A = this chain, B = another copy of it.
Amino acid sequence: MAPERATAQVAVDCVVFGVQLALPDHPDADDRLMVLLVERGPAPFAGRMALPGGFVLAGEGLKAAAERELVEETGVKLTYLEQLYTFGAPARDPRGRVLSVAWMALVRPSAHQLAPDTDAADARWVPVAEAPPLAFDHDTILATALERLRGKVRWQPIGFDLLPPRFTLTWLQRLYEVILEQTFDKRNFRRKVLKTGLLVDTGDRLTGVPHKPPALYAFDRDRYERLQTSGFSFEL
């Protein structure tokens, strides 16, 4: 008697990190690394927080499923999810064999309205440092994503989707400091990011601040996209 091939349901789960800096438009934002979680309605794990996600539909691609579930459960619409890892321990879901293909992204919370479609889900940004124990093996997924995020940030430019179109170098520095949980020397940070050629000085300055008005920069989109592929090293 030959052993059975596994037939599995396929789920996707999304680890969406968010950083909302306290900028002029959101002066009282919580300056920490957040993750987007939903509260589960149905069993199993009813009432627990979980990563947004759900089952892949017949004929649907994996990434498309992740994007769809994210919109349905949170209202967040993304197009640049990156595949993280696939979790497939036989007993990871009490309902039966369910694989989860996990995806991740990094966004600016204020650029997205939380508007879950399904009544099941109550979507919230939660500081990563304060995330409660999650449903299924989502703690492991989150930990894996965090490790990947911190590695990735040292290799690839970030900020395009996390900052307004024009921003100060101090904001960019704060972004890195929040994500990497370390501080950088202002002069060295500036030298380094300016040397990438990633930033364009718009010539304008931020006004209305009770100190010397800082210069506003923008990303050079072409160069940004090239550096996303080719990478650079970001040690400070």
Contacts and interface: CB of A to CB of B under 8 A. Distances in A.
Interface stretch (A16-24, A84-92, A128-136, A199-207): A84-92
Interface stretch (A34-42, A57-65, A182-190): A57-65
The 8 closest A-B CB pairs, nearest first, are A62-B88, A86-B86, A4-B58, A5-B55, A6-B56, A6-B58, A3-B57, A59-B90
12 contacts: A4-B58, A6-B55, A6-B59, A7-B9, A7-B10, A8-B9, A56-B88, A58-B97, A62-B99, A83-B85, A86-B101, A99-B101
Interface in A33-87: 55-62, 83, 85-86
- Counting every copy of the chain, the complex holds 2
Contacts of A4: 57-58
A97 B56 CA distance: 11
A60 B10 contact: no
Nearest to A89: B61
Interface of A: 3-10, 55-62, 83, 85-86, 88-90, 97, 99, 101, 233
Given A86-B86, A233-B233, A99 B10 contact: yes
A10 B83 CA distance: 17
A59 B6 CA distance: 7
Q: Which of A7, A56, A88 has the most CB of B within 10 A?
A: A88
Contacts of A7: 7-10
A57 B6 contact: yes
Given A5-B55, A8-B10, A99-B99, 4 more contacts: A5-B9, A5-B56, A61-B88, A61-B89
Contacts of A9: 5-8
A58 B99 CA distance: 12
Contacts of A6: 9-10, 55-60
Contacts of A90: 59-61
A3 B233 CA distance: 45
Contacts of A8: 7-10, 56, 99
